[in-house]
Amino acid sequence: MTTTVSRRTFLKSAAASAGAALTIGFDARGALAMTAQSGGNITPFVKIRPDGAVVAIIKHFEGGQGTATGLSALIAEELNMSLQDITFETAPADNARYANLFFGSQGTGGSTAMANSFMQYRGAAAAAREMLLDAAAEAWDAPLDTLVLSDGVISGAGHSASIGEFVEATLNMEAPSEPRLKDPSEWRVIGVDQKARLDTRAKIDGSAQFSMDVQLENQMVVAIKRSPRLGGVVAGFDDRAARDVPGFIMAIQMPNNKGVMAYAETTWAAFQARDALDIEWDFSAAESRSTAELKAELLAMVDAEPEFQASDTDLLTASAAIEGASQIVERDFYFPLLAHAPMEAMGATIEPLEDGGVVLHDGAQSPAAGHSVLSQVLELPMEKVQVNTLYAGGFFGRRSTPDADYLVELALAFAVTDRTRPVKLQWSREDDITGGYYRPAYAHKVRVGLDQDGRITGWDHRIAGQSIFKGTFFESFMVQNGIDNSTIEGAYHNPYQFPAHHIGLTDQNGPTTPNWWRSVGHSHTAYVMECMMDLCAAATGKDPVDFRLSYLTGDGADQTRMSGVIRLAAEKAGWGQPLPPGHFHGFAAHKSFGSYVAEICEISTDDTGAITIEKFTAAVDCGIAVTPDVIRAQIEGGIGYGIGHVMRAELTLDEGVVSQSNFHDYETLRIHDLSDIETYIVPSTEAPTGVGEPGTPPAGPALANAIAASGAPMVTHLPMATNGVLFS
């Protein structure tokens, strides 16, 4: 999801939280207990054990995007220690202490982890540093300015001791309200290009614990049989066949009638028993449409007058500017339904405690959601619900939905039992692919007028699709005047400066439960913007890079930073230089989540016309690069996610039933699809912005533009593989 915050608000909230973030404690349990007892608005991000070991408390879960390493780097920096010497733990559910400063509740999304933590975590650690030094100065009766803290040791004035020795003394101290942050010239961790991910070791020896790995004494595993047609409900069921499955415990209709829950002793038994359930479905309110019909409806919508005007410029003005042009470039585009399909399918576990409370074990994208759902469904006070955040096996947006789907299922599955045994919910891959939580399908239509000099005279851009936010809890701040910002982001507020630029939007009554999917609206708007820029450049005989730069003039930050990444990527990829025979370059650039990314895709074609993706070259400006190699990894992964889907991925409906079910027919990127990626990071002193999503939007159009450069038609309906492109 996208949330913007003004610079003023950012500094203010960061300062406020830094002033409160001053708690350090004793040991694994004692530290947090201590802060809880001290009361007040305390934000404990740093824990120091008696032996001096430093633990960063991570409020943003680690799902591969590198938050554990990035946030720990901020703590390590201000405590003047190397990243290799710090460890991390995930934060408990506690909105007062661990809210995402951009959301106001505890959760991860919109590539905001570093942006909202950069001042907060540094402030917390700097305050801890100052208090430890104060305590040492007092203990040794030494002048403060003679002491230094480095690598866990305070030394000076003839003394030297571990920081662990001063932890107790800090507990009664008044925290400094404005701790001094290290000057960037003093940084020894931030910006250092090193391979030092804190989660690597646990992920190469099998010890990393994901949601799926929870194995509690006496736990039951639940698998749910949901309606084969989206939106169907249970009319009745027969579990006689399931009773023959060894390990089967019971089958219970969900209280919301969305499915039947099969309880068993093991995951395999739960899957077997679930499959054996004979369910009678009520499809009276279920989806009955098919993809062909839904696609035709979307394409008709962008042909007609839009429902909403999303730009200052109206359609009449844009149309007038376009009709008088010397040539018009016009295309429609189609983007299919997509599943997130993280490697780890959804699931989580509820553990009952002796005091009547529960623990949720979850790779929690939104601990606040899990906390709240369990409290409400189980009718427990918030303090009786704990959240243990584990590693997530990828998410791409999927572990948070507006209706907290799998968390509600789990809470219901536990609620209807006698609540004495832990209950683990596990989705199968088929549940994931057919589950209905998708990136909606969209159609776009763009008409661009070009004058005799090849300059744009007007740009009419119409978008149709299912709104992600309408009808959800988030509607009040994500939808304005009927316009869901997540549908038009990337088309609207794009750094390019066009005359007579109209954006129209029409909502489709879509078939699925729409969900944010890595880069959200940018996953389709960037493709349209960047393919159209290449088509316009080609129509006027201009170089695609020069053509883009000509709409990024002036000294606005958006234009300057976008031009910067475009020039850097072009230089590094050798744009305009001769390529080997049969090789072609395609260009795309896009701003999303505050970051600017340009990508060049090099392809080759063989005699049969089959395409091989040879290389991607990327340039990114994401402000201060806190952990450069994590940024590179995210751009690499973002490119892979982007091209993987435009190449082959599509979900289709047949009378409300999803036709695909697993990785054999919802095809994923494979190692042979992509050989090489080079990523260059623009040096910057601006506040850090997102990296988890911004690599994805330009990847698809860079590939499309390379294919068009080879002489093939521009692919405007996705996926490419079913629309005329052959990949080798």
Partner 1 sequence: MAISLNLNGETHSVEADPGTPLLWVIRDELKLTGTKYGCGIAQCGACTLHLDGAAVRSCQVFVGDVEGATVTTIEAVKGPEADAVRQAWREFDVVQCGFCQSGQIMQAVDLLALNATPTDEDIDTVMGGNACRCATYTRIRAAIHRAAEILEG
**Where along the sequence are the contacts to partner 1 (CB under 8 A)?**
63-66, 195-197, 199-210, 212-213, 215, 221, 246, 266-268, 271, 341-345, 391-396, 428-429, 629, 633, 636-637, 639-641, 644, 662-664, 668-677
Q: How far is the CB of 271 from partner 1 (least distance, A)?
A: 8
Min dist CB 428 to partner 1, Å, is 6
Q: Which burial class, exposed, middle or buried, applies to 488 when counting CB atoms under 10 A from its CB (0-12, 13-18, 19+)?
A: buried
Nearest in space to 125 (alpha carbons), one of 29, 206, 55, 61 = 55
Question: In angstroms, what is the minimal distance from the CB of 584 to partner 1?
Answer: 20
Shortest separation between residue 196's beta carbon and partner 1, angstroms: 7
Closer by beta carbon to partner 1, 215 or else 257: 215
Question: Strands 54-58, 153-156: parallel, antiparallel or unpaired by DSSP?
Answer: unpaired
Nearer to partner 1, 216 or 416 (CB): 216
Q: Is the peptide bond before 336 cis (omega within 30 degrees of 0)?
A: no
Nearer to partner 1, 131 or 212 (CB): 212
Nearer to partner 1, 81 or 392 (CB): 392
Q: How many whole angstroms separate alpha carbon 360 and alpha carbon 351?
A: 6
Q: In terms of CB distance, is 166 or 641 closer to partner 1?
A: 641
Q: Which two tokens stand for residue 532?
A: 């159209």
What is the rounded CA–CA span in Å between residue 70 and residue 632? 13
Tell the smallest beta-carbon distance from residue 339 to partner 1 (Å): 10
- Give the nearer residue to partner 1 in terms of CB position, either 275 or 558: 275
What SS3 class is residue 129?
helix
Nearer to partner 1, 149 or 630 (CB): 630
Sequence-distant (≥ 6) Cβ neighbours of residue 544 within 8 angstroms: 533, 534, 537, 538, 587, 705
Residue 594: DSSP 8-state: T
> If you ran DSSP here, which 8-state letter would residue 496 be given?
S
Residue among 221 and 337 whose Cβ is closer to partner 1:
221
Q: Are strands 442-450 and 437-438 parallel, antiparallel or unpaired?
A: unpaired
Residue whose C-alpha is closest to residue 339's, from 275, 210, 434? 434
CB of 543 to partner 1, least distance (A): 28
Backbone φ/ψ region at 656: left (φ over 0), alpha (ψ -120 to 50), beta: left
Cβ proximity to partner 1, 499 vs 628, nearer residue: 628
Q: In the complex with partner 1, which residue's Cβ is closer, 563 or 696?
A: 696
Q: From 426, 399, 515, 394, select the one nearest 62 (Cα to Cα).
A: 394
For residue 160, how many other CB atoms are within 10 A of its CB?
Answer: 11
CA distances from 405 to 228, 264, 437, 676, 694 (A): 17, 21, 9, 38, 26
Q: Return d(Cα 696, Cα 585) in angstroms, integer.
A: 18
State in angstroms the smallest separation of the CB of 321 from partner 1: 41
Min dist CB 391 to partner 1, Å, is 7
- Look up residue 80 and give its two tokens: 């003047």
CB of 672 to partner 1, least distance (A): 4
Q: How far is the CB of 397 from partner 1 (least distance, A)?
A: 12
List CB contacts of 516: < 8 A, sequence separation 6 or more.
1, 109, 397, 400, 468, 486
Nearer to partner 1, 673 or 686 (CB): 673
**CA-based R_g, the chain, Å:** 27
Least CB distance to partner 1 at residue 58 (A): 15
How many distinct helices (H) and strands (E) make up the chain?
A: 20, 30
